[in-house]
Amino acid sequence: MPEGQKEGAAGAKPKSARAKSADGAGKSRYDFVEGDRYAPAPESSDHVSLRDSYQLFIGGEWVRAPRRIETINPATGEVLAEVGEAGPRMVDRAVAAARQAYEKTWSEMPGRERGKYLFRLARLIQERAREFAVVETMDGGKPIRESRDIDLPLVAAHFFYYAGWADKLDYAFPGRRARPLGVVGQVIPWNFPLLMAAWKLAPALACGNTVVLKPAETTPLTALKLAELIEEAGFPPGVVNVITGAGKTGQNLVRHPDVDKVAFTGSTAVGKLIQKDLAGTGRRFTLELGGKAANIIFDDAPVNQAVEGIVNGIFFNQGHVCCAGSRLFVQEGIADTVVRKLKRRMETLVLGDPLDKNTDVGAINSQEQLERIRVLVDSGREEGARCWQSGQKLPRKGFWFKPTIFTECAQSHGIVQKEIFGPVLAIQTFRTPEEAVEKANNTPYGLSGGVWTDKGSKIFKITSQIRAGVLWANTFNKFDPASPFGGYKESGIGREGGLQGLAPYVELR
């Protein structure tokens, strides 16, 4: 069936979907609500304080970088603010500030005192959660429901969790003495900007390290606002430094000879470059990289719940999720039913204004990412897989991509093997559990996966055979700060979260 065309009953919209916007006048200046089925429920951005221009946060001061870059709202194309682009001198300065703070204060401070700073920061994040959620949505394009209900609560939870470990490191590693490593260079991606900052900062600081953090070029704002909170919480100058910029800034940071440890989250391609950069230096690193998770649905699974799990697995955050369930394996006997129900459910997804509380699918993060998705989707069509897209209208401005599925996929197709990092699902079928496991493991990645079945024994058997760091059973995309996260194979090295997330930030004696 051609792209965009709805199939018979499966494509029919449910009743609510046909209802017009209640007031008929809810058109925003970006035409987000055209064709929508609910009255607009926009989250207010009046309470948000955003500066026009941000400097670099180095040594507890705001330092001007001569070169500037703009960050835009991907849902509208509007410029939100300009930020500094840190060149080599600024990277040097940030690393020197972190070194000084490490030697003079932070590493010498008792864990219980470090914990107090982290608890204070966690509380400040909670107080300002609404504002931060709005900024995250404006800068990144993700639906406000996600940034408000998932990102921000998890960010605060991470700081609370690791604050609790700061004075208990002796219990984390019984019989050993945990010493911090020194200055940590941290580079993070754009898909969960604040959450990735929390995953990186909280354990590093709890263990007594100081940090230079580089957020992604397209989503620097919440990291800079976090720096404002770090200032407000009274952290000693230089304990946390935030430098903005593009890939070159990240490269200068990870190559810096006075950085003791590198923590990177991003693509496998850049992860490999970093590994090469650090080879032979003796410096430590952890890499949290890409994924191509298998979501496996057995014929004894509760189908309706599984369909919700599939939708959550691939359309959460527009599929900009390293652990997204981007490969679906359905047991042959229920494949037609699952695909039919999935298509019907996809038609009900609300795509549009990310600040609207009804929105399920927001904007693609950048023009560049949109192009990447288009290229891979075109390659799927060319290779012979069958493409189907739901019928939502796309807003005229900004970057958007319709929820998309491919059926009739072969294991060799690029859309099955490569990380698309967009709202695109490749569907395959299987007959036996062995075939499901074989196909699920046939990928260079090994970050996450999901299994749907009524049988507990099958869950244990299958999950123990899938080579992935995180596996969910009868659910998907669930996160907790106490639970370790990380990959096998080309999905990375090291773990973040939980007790395991402390280990990469300490030397054990």
Chain residues in the site for ligand TAP (CB under 6 A): 187-191, 214, 216-217, 246-247, 250-251, 254, 265-267, 270, 273-274, 288-291, 322, 419, 421, 447, 485, 487, 492
Beta partners for 331?
430
**At its nearest, how many Å lie between ligand TAP and the CB of residue 158?**
13
Distance CA 402, CA 390 (A): 6
CA 237 to chain centre: 29
Catalytic residue among 207, 322, 323, 409: 322
In whole angstroms, how close is the CB of 27 to ligand TAP at the nearest point?
33
| Residue 179: CB minimum distance to ligand TAP, A | 26
Which residue bears the tokens 């652990």?
323
In sequence order, which ranges of 348-413 are alpha helices (DSSP H)? 367-382
| CB closer to ligand TAP out of 117 and 199 | 199
Assess whether 288 carries a catalytic annotation. Answer: yes
- Pick between residue 93 and residue 214 the one whose CB is nearest to ligand TAP: 214
- Residue identified by tokens 């990928």 is 443
Residue whose C-alpha is closest to residue 364's, from 351, 382, 378, 381: 351
* Residue environment code for 138-177, b if the CB has 16+ CB neighbours within 10 A, otherwise e: bbbbbbbbbbbebbbebbbbbbbbbbbbbbebeebeeeee
Work out how close the CB of 244 gets to ligand TAP at its nearest, in angstroms, rounded to a whole number. Answer: 8
Secondary structure of residue 125 in the 3-state scheme: helix
Q: Beta 386-389 vs 404-407: how paired, if at all?
A: antiparallel
Q: To the nearest whole angstrom, how small is the minimum distance from the Cβ of residue 477 to ligand TAP?
A: 12
Nearest alpha carbon to residue 204 among 106, 103, 92: 106
Complex with ligand TAP: residue 256 or 458, whichever CB lies closer: 256
CB of 237 vs ligand TAP, minimal distance in Å:
24
DSSP three-state, residue 469? coil
Per the rule left: phi > 0, alpha: psi between -120 and 50, beta: everything else, 494 is left
Query: What's the closest the beta carbon of residue 259 comes to ligand TAP, in angstroms?
Result: 11
Sign of CA dihedral 116, 120, 125, 126: positive
Instruction: Kindly state the helix (H) or strand (E) to which residue 184 belongs, with its residue range.
Output: strand 183-187
- By beta-carbon distance, which residue lies closest to ligand TAP? 250
Please give the single-letter amino acid code of residue 502. Answer: L
Pick the catalytic residue from 43, 146, 288, 347: 288
Strand, helix or coil for residue 320: coil
- Helix (H), strand (E) at residue 9: helix 8-11
Residue 91 or residue 289: which is nearer to ligand TAP going by CB?
A: 289
Q: Is 26 or 291 the residue whose CB approaches ligand TAP more closely? A: 291
**Which residues are known to be catalytic?**
288, 322
